[in-house]
Amino acid sequence: MKILLADSNAARREALSAQFTRLDAAFSIIALATDASLLAEVERLRPDVVLVDMARPDRDMLDSLPAQGGTPPVVMFLDGSDPAFMQEAISAGVSSYHGQDVAPDAAKLVMRLAVAFFQRNQQATAKLQEVEEQAEQRRAIDAAKRLLMKEERMSEPAAHRFLQRRAMDQQKRLAEVAADYLAAQTRQGQKP
């Protein structure tokens, strides 16, 4: 089975390709080149299945092709009897199109694997973002404290208490108050 993979995320694309090949040597995976036109490649390569990252705007090129004799994959993967799986797939951000002669079971197997990989990638991205945000907040608090110590001649504990009190008064989080303070100081510094 020939699968065209239109996914702009290189790491996910490679992991998914490797997994397909491991699963069954009968799968042949072609990654869509970055600059290639999705529709032109589908017409040229005639894959059995096209997996499309839902973040790609060019998904619309496949969305409404009239189904004519000899046209490449145009049947959108759809399992009306399993709306929970459809929701899962859409939330994971992957869609699939296949040829008229691909059995629904085979199309679903391909889709299951893709959904699993997209979900894993989504979770990893979310976790990474969370850690990055925390690090960013930490940096803002530390920078605000350093500035308070320098400009207001506060001790480190006093600077911390100052920010805490302000956070309580304004009912904001410590990191937000710190960021506000830094922004205000920067604005003041820019004034002539």
Partner 1 sequence: MNDVIRLGLLRLCDAAPVILAAHEGLFAAAGLNVALSVEPSWANIADKLAFNLLDGAVMLAPLALACAGGLRGAKIDLAVPMSLSSNGNAITLAASAQSAFAAGGIEAVAAAKRPRLAVVHGFSSHDLLLRHWLAGQGVMPERDVDITVLPPAEMVGALAAGAIDGFCAGAPWGLVAAKAGLGFTAALSRDIWPDHPEKCLALRADFANAEAARLDALLRVLLHAQRLCAAPDGRQALSQLLARPEYLDLPAPLLLAALDPAQGGPAFTAPYPAPAYGQWYARQMQLWGRAPAGLEALAAQLYRPDLFLRAGGEARDIAEPPANANFD
The correct pick among 22, 26, 64, 101 for binding partner 1 (CB under 8 A) is 64
Instruction: Characterize 62-101 residue by residue with b for buried, 16 or more Cβ atoms within 10 angstroms of its Cβ, and e for exposed.
Output: beebeeeeeebbbbbbeeeeeeeeeebbeebbbbbbbbee
The correct pick among 25, 26, 33, 57 for binding partner 1 (CB under 8 A) is 57
CA 34/CA 125 separation, integer angstroms: 21
Least Cβ distance, residue 54 to partner 1 (angstroms): 6
Per CB under 8 A, 36 contacts partner 1: no
Q: 59: number of CA atoms within 13 Å, CB side?
A: 16
Per CB under 8 A, 119 contacts partner 1: no
Per CB under 8 A, 95 contacts partner 1: yes
Stretch that binds partner 1, among 3-11, 48-56, 101-109, 136-144 (CB under 8 A): 48-56
Q: Which is nearer to partner 1, 27 or 72 (CB)?
A: 72
CA 38/CA 48 separation, integer angstroms: 14
Least Cβ distance, residue 47 to partner 1 (angstroms): 18
The correct pick among 30, 65, 113, 149 for binding partner 1 (CB under 8 A) is 65
Binding residues for partner 1, rule: CB under 8 A, are 37, 39, 54-66, 76, 78, 80, 83, 86-87, 90-91, 95
